[in-house]
Amino acid sequence: MLFRSRFAIGSDDWPKTRQAILTRLASHDGRAIKLSTLDLVTFRRLCETRGVPAMTRDELSVLETCATDLTGLSPGRAGLVRREQERLVRLLPASTGQMRCAGR
């Protein structure tokens, strides 16, 4: 019960998950590209439910450019990745080199 209630309230920070997702999204290997849809959805949902600590310009750049090389994905899947990326970037307004999730 402690585990469930601790994560249900969304009070935990998620730096390891965030870093793992950003690392995959910055990668251009086939596996990372195939996981990009799931990674973007996961990142967006965590941002909406838990918020995000201030992010650097480099981290924002990864999120803004991750859908540029979608080699190997079907046109439908590539479109889904682009739409999810756009939804996520809209949640993360840039301001003086740092950004915060709008949900926090």
86 in any annotated domain = yes
45 in any annotated domain = yes
Domain count, the chain: 1
9 in any annotated domain = no
* Of 53, 54, 39, 30, nearest in space to 88 by CA: 39
- What is the number of H-type helices and E-type strands within the chain? 5, 2
2 in any annotated domain = no
Q: What is the pLDDT of residues 2-56, one digit of tens each?
A: 445 455 555 556 788 889 999 999 998 888 888 898 999 999 998 888 876 678 8
Q: Check whether 65 has a pLDDT greater than 60.
A: yes
61 in any annotated domain = yes
Q: Which domain holds residue 75?
A: 14-93
4 in any annotated domain = no
44 in any annotated domain = yes
